Amino acid sequence: MKITKTSGKRKEAIARAILREGTGIVRINTLQLDVYEPKYAREKIRLPLTLADDIVDLSKIDIAINIAGGGQMGQADAIACAIARGLCEHTDNEELYNKYIKYDRTLIAGDHRQTEVHKPGQSSKGARHKRQKSYR
């Protein structure tokens, strides 16, 4: 039985995916994908599965994902990245890899952008936010 472990990152969110031969169930922190909320995040997670549907038989692959950190959409992007990487590695399919790269490169390469560090001696509202100055 072939087992593949991959990970995906986005901002502070880290997703770890385990792909193994099975019955086509996708679980996120023991919760099935069909009941994962919010709906938009669920559709974002389903994207790599939809793209791979005509190339790979997904009914024979179980995907278990453990996600931690970040917000809802950052987690959704990290999960999608982990699934796409995992499917490419598990199936060794060059056509699937090229399809992901052509559609959206961040599904495989990840998104390198991070939040900017807050500067010392300034307000806690943002990285570049300065205190308001009064001239009168």
Banded pLDDT at 79 (limits 50, 70, 90): very high
- In this model, does residue 88 exceed pLDDT 80? yes
Question: Could you tell me if 31 and 19 are in contact, meaning their C-beta atoms sit under 8 angstroms apart?
Answer: no
Q: 3-109, which class in CATH?
A: alpha beta
* Residue 34: C-alpha distances to residues 26, 30, 46, 126 (Å): 9, 12, 10, 36
pLDDT band, residue 69 (cuts 50/70/90): very high
Listed residue (68, 59, 109, 67) closest to 88, CA to CA: 109
- Listed in sequence order, the residues at least 6 apart from 22 whose beta carbon sits closer than 8 Å to its beta carbon are 60, 61, 62
- The domain spans of the chain are 3-109
- Strands 61-68, 26-28: pairing is parallel
Q: Please give the model's pTM, rounded to 2 decimal places.
A: 0.85
